[in-house]
A and B are shown apart, each in its own frame.
Chain A
Amino acid sequence: MRPELENLQRDFQDNVVEGVMSEVMLEILGSDVVTGKEFLKILTRLSELAKGFIDTGRFEETLLIYNTLYTHSLGGRFKSEALNTIEYFFHSQDFTERFIRALRAWGLKNRDGAARLSRPLRKSLMGPLLAVALDEEDENARKLFLSLLVAMGRDLIPVVMKALHSDDAGRVRMLLYLVRKCGTDSDLSVVRTLLGHKNQRIGTAAVRTLLHFKTKDSLPYLKIYLESREPEVRLEAIELAGLYRLKETVPAVEGILDRKDLLGTAHAEKVAAVRALGRMGDISILDRFSRILETRSLISKGKLEDLKLEIFRSLRNFPPEDVEPLLRLGVWSDNQEMKAISAEIMGKLYGAGETPVDA
């Protein structure tokens, strides 16, 4: 078959014909000649086409039908007919289920189309999509669902608030993520009820939400969690302190770094503490860092090296001139990453490729 004939034949494929048919029907609906009777009949055929489009992940073609009907519903000659189709077809449970099934199958491939269609359908979509997102096991699909929910903005908050009363930490954390993304500080009353939750992982997520909105009561709660008996909770609290660069927590986090840890069980916490302190960029901590860098250990040499490396990684967050003494230790290190970081920051101080004579 000659290539130019193959091109012509492509027009006969079902998906092409359906797309053109849909556009032609949209033209007819928008024309002056259409009568009410024909408008309704064509709406029925268009709805069927829309089902076919959504079942095969053709979000843009579905959106085109929706948008046209929406335009008609605003002021067309048959606005009530168009409005009814939007309400009873596009916002129906059946259509929503089809859409969610299509999102799972094609949403990742066609994120833009999925997002563009989910926005106008948010009224009926947000509840079922939230339920599906909370139960979704596939991480990529869950991330997609959450991103679509985030794009729905503040309208999502009442639905999220209703779902917040759960003991499942994973679900609550996802919901609080949505509060942070879509809510404001006026949406925090329910969140505050979670601060004393028996599951402290829910509590830390609630604190994170308060920290996000910079509320006055967030810091005292964070300090409580920094003192938690549960290592996992402490670790999360440390990460939050670093994430929100809370210099007020420096003494508490430094305290964690100072704790004796003969068995090395708190190693992850200490690394996290260094990272958090580094993020805060408070120069008062540099003496403490310096002491760690000068420490020698025969028992937990590997773990100490990890800690030292984390210190060097954090040095980029401080003014170069304040960390110079530490960099001098780094440039003579056997660890290539420490050496590279030190050289990089030294370069900022003295110019690339230059090192001080006594280094």
Chain B
Amino acid sequence: MPERIAAIISDLMGAASNAALHSKEHPSVEDFCKKALLGLEPFFSSGAASFAITGYTLRFNDFLTLSQKSLVVGTFVDKLRRKGIGKVTIRKGVTTTELAAFVADLLPSERTPRSSPRIFVEQTSSTRTAGTPEILGEMLPAAVRIVKEAHRKVLKAEPVDLDDLEGLVVRFIHLLGQPQSILDVVKPHRANQDYSYVHAVRVSLLAIDLARAIGMEGDPLHQVGLAGLLFDVGRLFIPHEVLNKTGDLDERERATIQQHPLYGAMYLAALEDIPKLAVIAAFEHHMKFDGTGYPDTRWRDRHQHIVSQIVSLTDFFDALRAQQPYRKAYAIPLIVKKMQEGARKEFNPVLVQEFTGRLDRLGLLR
């Protein structure tokens, strides 16, 4: 049964992909819709078939939970979430034209799908708009706990509770909606035993802020936030003594450290539900804008994806803002100077400009 539903979703996503790549009038869109309709037909005996989402969980006909292990299911959930859709009910008698119009409306460039005579679209209850404004300091302990738990689960190869992480990202986005909240995020902070998790929280916040500054919104923005929370998870797989060595690393130790992006991406990719951008950022956050850096690649070209560029820039900033036992926190103007020196080499110059421009407007470069 789940395979049959996944096949229907696969056809719907095939139609959507083709509409995106070509046009919604392309014959292949109709072909995929026809196939999806054939798959749905047996479920119409009870009148209708429905897809409902709660968080990242998809349920078919209110009882069958579909695993996001399947990428197409994950993509379908992403598309519904981006459009703020909580439930879609497809009734008996639906036509391929109606189905094609619905899947085409799932594309980012299109309007939010509306109900048609035989497709009933319900908007989600606004889970993404949190209520009371928060303060980073108050939110931080709980956030660190959630991130720590997620990292622990990745280390044990257990399913990560994505809803918790997603809830955190929603709160981050809400927090950053308050104009002055970014000032808290860029403050210097002392590295303590939970430094890795605090750092992940701060990188996530900074990454969301930067992604929003370049015009991202909706689900991609959420995925950037999740990528920020999970990008350095691979460090958990590196022996403690290598990771925390204070002196210079020898060649073998350096090679070991340089494997952490691979470990992180591997374990994230193998887990259900983890968004693609989180896997990409975990793999590429030590690649540089000019194609240097690590890990080495054979199949992947040396172009760092934008999510990884955002994460590596914000990672750099926050790492230098942390006061370590062996050095003080860097002042923002000094970090900005280093960023500008690294533009075009380590960092995407457009992102550097956006990020430093934002700090400048906050009066932090004086």
Asked whether, in the complex, the Cβ of B298 is within 8 Å of the Cβ of A45, the reply is no
Which residue on chain B has the smallest CB distance to residue A45? B71
B242 close to chain A: CB less than 8 A: no
Asked whether, in the complex, the Cβ of A51 is within 8 Å of the Cβ of B10, the reply is yes
Measured in the bound complex, the distance between the Cα atoms of B306 and A9 in whole Å is: 8
A 4-43 to B, binary, CB cutoff 8 A, 1 in contact else 0: 1100110111111110110111111011111001100110
B 1-26 to A, binary, CB cutoff 8 A, 1 in contact else 0: 00000000010011001101100001
Which residues of the other chain, A, contact B262 by a CB distance below 8 angstroms? Answer: 27-28, 31, 33
Measured in the bound complex, the distance between the Cα atoms of B269 and A42 in whole Å is: 6
Q: How many A-B residue pairs have CB under 8 A?
A: 130
A239 close to chain B: CB less than 8 A: no
B347 close to chain A: CB less than 8 A: no
Which residues of the other chain, B, contact A26 by a CB distance below 8 angstroms? Answer: 298-300
A 43-77 to B, binary, CB cutoff 8 A, 1 in contact else 0: 01100110110011100000010001000000000
- Min CB distance B365 to A, Å, is 21
Asked whether, in the complex, the Cβ of B269 is within 8 Å of the Cβ of A55, the reply is no
| Interface residue ranges of B345-363 to A (CB < 8 Å) | 348, 350-351
Measured in the bound complex, the distance between the Cα atoms of B27 and A57 in whole Å is: 13
Asked whether, in the complex, the Cβ of B17 is within 8 Å of the Cβ of A42, the reply is no
Asked whether, in the complex, the Cβ of B17 is within 8 Å of the Cβ of A27, the reply is no
Q: A8-B350, A52-B17 are in contact. Are A28 and B266 (CB under 8 A)?
A: yes
Asked whether, in the complex, the Cβ of A101 is within 8 Å of the Cβ of B31, the reply is yes
Asked whether, in the complex, the Cβ of A23 is within 8 Å of the Cβ of B300, the reply is yes
A359 close to chain B: CB less than 8 A: no
Asked whether, in the complex, the Cβ of B280 is within 8 Å of the Cβ of A17, the reply is yes
- Min CB distance B76 to A, Å, is 11
B305 close to chain A: CB less than 8 A: yes
Interface of B is mostly: helix
A299 close to chain B: CB less than 8 A: no
Interface residue stretch chosen among B93-101, B110-118, B183-191, B213-221: B213-221
Which residue on chain B has the smallest CB distance to residue A94? B7
Which residues of the other chain, A, contact B276 by a CB distance below 8 angstroms? Answer: 17-18, 20-21
Asked whether, in the complex, the Cβ of A56 is within 8 Å of the Cβ of B14, the reply is yes
Partner of B28, one of A9, A15, A38, A105: A105
| Interface residue ranges of B247-287 to A (CB < 8 Å) | 259, 262-263, 265-267, 269-270, 276-277, 279-280, 283-284
Which residues of the other chain, A, contact B350 by a CB distance below 8 angstroms? Answer: 4-5, 8
A298 close to chain B: CB less than 8 A: no
- Min CB distance A90 to B, Å, is 17
B307 close to chain A: CB less than 8 A: yes
B72 close to chain A: CB less than 8 A: yes
Partner of A12, one of B220, B267, B301, B348: B220
Measured in the bound complex, the distance between the Cα atoms of B295 and A27 in whole Å is: 9
A262 close to chain B: CB less than 8 A: no
Measured in the bound complex, the distance between the Cα atoms of B350 and A15 in whole Å is: 23
Which residues of the other chain, A, contact B21 by a CB distance below 8 angstroms? Answer: 15, 56-57
Which residues of the other chain, A, contact B32 by a CB distance below 8 angstroms? Answer: 55
A357 close to chain B: CB less than 8 A: no
Asked whether, in the complex, the Cβ of A27 is within 8 Å of the Cβ of B70, the reply is no
Q: A27-B283, A28-B269 are in contact. Are A11 and B307 (CB under 8 A)?
A: yes
Asked whether, in the complex, the Cβ of B14 is within 8 Å of the Cβ of A55, the reply is yes
Which residues of the other chain, B, contact A263 by a CB distance below 8 angstroms? Answer: none
Which 3 pairs between the two chains have the least Cβ-Cβ distance? A11-B306, A48-B71, A41-B270
Q: What 19 new A-B contacts, CB under 8 Å, besides A8-B348, A30-B299, A52-B17?
A: A8-B350, A9-B306, A11-B305, A11-B307, A12-B216, A12-B220, A12-B306, A13-B108, A16-B305, A20-B305, A21-B279, A27-B265, A27-B299, A28-B266, A31-B266, A41-B270, A51-B72, A56-B17, A56-B18
B interface, CB within 8 angstroms of A? 10, 13-14, 17-18, 20-21, 26-28, 31-32, 69-72, 75, 108, 157, 214-216, 220, 259, 262-263, 265-267, 269-270, 276-277, 279-280, 283-284, 295, 297-301, 305-307, 348, 350-351
29 pairs of residues in contact across A and B, judged by CB atoms under 8 Å: A4-B350, A5-B215, A8-B350, A12-B216, A13-B20, A14-B17, A17-B305, A20-B276, A21-B279, A23-B299, A23-B300, A24-B279, A24-B280, A24-B284, A25-B279, A27-B283, A27-B300, A28-B269, A30-B298, A31-B262, A38-B270, A44-B69, A48-B72, A51-B10, A52-B71, A55-B10, A55-B18, A56-B14, A56-B17
A interface, CB within 8 angstroms of B? 1, 4-5, 8-9, 11-18, 20-21, 23-28, 30-34, 37-38, 41-42, 44-45, 48-49, 51-52, 55-57, 64, 68, 101, 105
